[in-house]
């Protein structure tokens, strides 16, 4: 083990900082930051920026026209020239519209903290802030530049931040994602499904259902048959799902429908499966004579495959064990910005954020006691992820 990484000391220090962590969390949660409301989101962004500036980090606000500004925070080791960089990734937007706090206030009860976005993922941001503080206070010999990227639109697909995330990831040797962990034991997310949505539009021909049925091409019938076809592509065992979750079509009961559409949710655990589904979707041909099909959309996030996180996870497990904690892992059915960085082949470890439950719901909460340990784990990872020996194998980047 490295002579300059002391997970137990980090944990001891952070346990003493728990009240300050909770106070910072309260401030952040009480500053609502819905993805769709720029001015509200910007207020939260400014609050975050101030917290990092207070600790001496370099802060750049990356202005956005329609979404909240993104925040890029840099911390470089004092002594040596940094040899590469580590990226810590998170989002400060939430799925809750302004005013949610009135019905769902920040509150602490029974060792838990409740409030909109507390688990997904404001507690994660607080943990990162205190991880930096710990690095500053400790004897950790940081070798790499640390970049913390806090974005404003993860909950709505990261359309304004994706390029920034990918550019920053390309410069990084590893990416740590502060999305919530899973379950009461706080499992890390070592694989995530790729996610997408596609629209299947069917064009038929309208006709009087009684007077001239032979002249019509029924788009609803065509769509129904296509959906039956798509349903057979589901392969739960291998993590492939295709679900038509919205359907609409037709105009009146006595007019043969000339248009119908379905919106499909697409998920796959492996990149090869994702590509195969996209190929098959593009190759769909009509079943009824005279019908025409159009496919729009596809996968937005590629799968985060386990091989990209395996080495970092093994490292995290060892560091956690030194603090007396056992760390587990799981697969997540949903995507995150970690999917983008993993798709570039950059070692990525996700689910390093808070321990809690109820994301995107009125009962969203975190376990307050878990905050210091999670922050200590991140501190230890940042302090020690410069050694080549623990990232061997498939990770060519190293
Ligand atoms: Zn999230």
Total length of the chain: 398
CA of 119 to the centre of ligand 1 (A): 8
CA of 199 to the centre of ligand 1 (A): 25
Q: Average of pLDDT values for 68-88?
A: 88
Alpha carbon of 383 to ligand 1 centroid (Å): 25
Ligand 1 centroid to 378 CA: how many Å? Answer: 17
Cα-to-centroid distance, 94 and ligand 1 (Å) = 8
Q: What are phi and psi of 276, to 5 degrees?
A: -65, -45
Q: Could you give the angle at the alpha carbon of 321 between the alpha carbons of 316 and 327, nearest 5°? A: 55
Distance 204 CA to ligand 1 centre (A): 41
Give the integer Cα–Cα distance in Å for 12 and 31.
29
Q: Give the distance (Å) from ligand 1 centre to CA of residue 181.
A: 10
Tell me the CA–centroid distance for residue 333 and ligand 1, in Å.
13
| DSSP code at position 159 | T
Angle at 356 (CA atoms; ends 354, 358), nearest 5 degrees: 120
Q: What is the pLDDT of residue 68?
A: 97
CB 319 within 8 A of CB 380: yes
Predicted confidence at residue 389, as pLDDT, reads 39
Q: How confident is the model at residue 15 (pLDDT cuts 50, 70, 90)?
A: very high
Report CA(148)–ligand 1 centroid distance (Å).
Answer: 15
Burial of residue 203 (CB within 10 Å: 0-12, 13-18, 19+) is middle
- What are the pLDDT digits (tens) for 354-384? 999 999 999 999 999 999 999 999 999 999 8
Average pLDDT, whole number, for the chain?
93
CA distance 115 to 101: 7
Q: What are phi and psi of 264, to 5 degrees?
A: -110, 135
- Per-residue pLDDT of 125-184, as tens digits, reads 999 999 999 999 986 778 889 999 999 999 999 999 999 999 999 999 999 999 999 999
Q: How far is the CA of 90 from the centre of ligand 1 (A)?
A: 8
CA 291 to ligand 1 centroid distance, Å? 41
Q: What angle do CA 118, 124, 130 make, to 5 degrees?
A: 120
pLDDT tens by residue, 320-332: 999 999 999 999 9
DSSP 251: S
The mean per-residue pLDDT over the stretch 227-252 comes to 97
Flag whether pLDDT at 87 surpasses 50: yes
- Ligand 1 centroid from CA 120, angstroms: 5
Which of 12-26, 70-84, 270-284, 285-299 comes out lowest in average pLDDT? 70-84
42 C-alpha to ligand 1 centroid (Å):
18
pLDDT at 143: 83
Q: How far is the CA of 353 from the centre of ligand 1 (A)?
A: 9
pLDDT attached to residue 173: 93
For residue 117, how far is its CA from the centre of ligand 1 (angstroms)? 8
Check pLDDT > 50 for residue 392: no
Per-position DSSP letters for 161-179, written without gaps between them: THHHHHHHHHT-SEEEE--
CA 388 to chain centre: 27
Q: Give me the percent of the chain exceeding a pLDDT of 90.
A: 90
pLDDT band at 79 (very low <50, low <70, confident <90, very high): low
**DSSP letter (8 states) at residue 69:** P
C-alpha 377 – ligand 1 centre gap (Å): 19
Tell me, in angstroms, the distance from the centre of ligand 1 to residue 165's CA: 15
- Name residues whose C-beta falls within 8 Å of residue 365's C-beta, 6 or more positions apart in sequence: 112, 113, 114, 118, 119, 356, 357, 358
Given this model, what pLDDT does residue 386 score?
A: 60
Closest C-alpha among 75, 90, 86 to residue 44 = 90
- Cis ω for the linkage preceding 121 (within 30 of 0): yes
pLDDT of residue 214: 96
Distance 224 CA to ligand 1 centre (A): 35
Rounded to the nearest angstrom, the distance between the alpha carbon of 337 and the centre of ligand 1 is: 9
Nearest CA among 345, 341, 351 for reference residue 378? 351
Q: Token pair 């587990």 is at which residue?
A: 328
Q: How many CA atoms lie within 13 A of 240 on its CB side?
A: 16
pLDDT at 256 over 50: yes
Angle, CA 178 vertex, CA 327 and CA 129 arms, to 5°: 105
pLDDT score at 303: 97
118 CA distance to ligand 1 middle (Å): 10
Kindly state the helix (H) or strand (E) to which residue 129 belongs, with its residue range. helix 123-137
DSSP letter assigned to residue 240:
B
- Residue 102 burial by CB count (10 A; 0-12/13-18/19+): exposed, middle or buried? exposed
Ligand 1: centre distance to CA 336 (Å): 7
Say if pTM beats, i.e. exceeds, 0.85.
yes
Cα–ligand 1 centroid distance for 285 (angstroms)? 37
Provide, rounded to the nearest whole percent, the portion of the chain with pLDDT above 70: 95
Distance 288 CA to ligand 1 centre (A): 43
Kindly report, residue by residue over 263-305, the tens digit of the pLDDT.
999 999 999 999 999 999 999 999 999 999 999 999 999 999 9
Instruction: State the pLDDT at residue 395.
Output: 39
What's the 126 CA to ligand 1 centre distance in angstroms?
14
């Amino acid at each position: 083990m490295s002579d300059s990484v002391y997970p137990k000391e980090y944990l001891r220090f952070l346990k003493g900082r728990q009240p300050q962590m909770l106070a910072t969390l309260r401030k952040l949660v009480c500053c609502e930051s819905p993805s769709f409301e720029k001015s509200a989101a910007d207020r939260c962004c400014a609050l975050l920026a101030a917290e990092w500036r207070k600790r001496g980090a370099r802060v750049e606000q990356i202005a956005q026209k329609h979404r909240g500004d993104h925040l890029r925070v840099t911390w470089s080791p004092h002594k040596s020239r940094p040899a590469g960089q580590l990226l810590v990734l998170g989002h400060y937007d939430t799925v809750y519209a302004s005013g949610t706090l009135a019905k769902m206030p920040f509150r602490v009860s029974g060792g838990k903290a409740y409030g909109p976005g507390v688990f997904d993922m404001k507690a994660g941001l607080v943990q990162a802030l205190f991880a930096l503080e710990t690095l500053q206070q400790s004897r950790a010999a940081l070798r790499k530049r640390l970049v913390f990227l806090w974005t404003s639109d993860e909950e709505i697909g990261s359309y304004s931040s994706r390029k920034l995330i990918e550019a920053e990831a390309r410069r990084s040797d590893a990416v740590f994602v502060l999305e919530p962990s899973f379950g009461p034991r706080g499992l890390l997310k070592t694989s995530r499904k790729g996610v997408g949505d596609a629209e299947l539009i069917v064009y038929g021909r309208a006709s009087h259902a009684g007077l001239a049925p032979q002249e019509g091409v029924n788009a609803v019938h065509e769509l129904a048959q296509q959906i039956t076809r798509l349903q057979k592509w589901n392969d739960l065992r291998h993590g492939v799902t295709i679900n038509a979750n919205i359907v609409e079509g037709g105009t009146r009961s006595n007019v043969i429908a000339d248009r119908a559409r379905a919106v499909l949710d697409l998920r796959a655990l492996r990149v090869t499966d994702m590509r195969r589904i996209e190929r098959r979707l593009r190759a769909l041909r009509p079943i009824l004579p005279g019908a025409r099909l159009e496919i729009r959309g596809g996968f937005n996030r590629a799968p985060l495959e386990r091989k990209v996180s395996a080495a970092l996870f093994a490292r995290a497990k060892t560091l956690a064990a030194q603090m007396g904690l056992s760390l587990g892992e799981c697969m997540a059915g949903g995507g995150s910005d970690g999917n983008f960085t993993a798709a570039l082949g950059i070692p990525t470890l996700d689910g390093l954020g808070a321990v809690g439950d109820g994301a995107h719901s009125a009962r969203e909460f975190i376990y307050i006691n878990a905050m210091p340990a999670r922050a200590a784990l991140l501190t230890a990872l940042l302090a020690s992820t410069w050694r080549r020996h623990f990232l061997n194998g498939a990770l060519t980047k190293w």
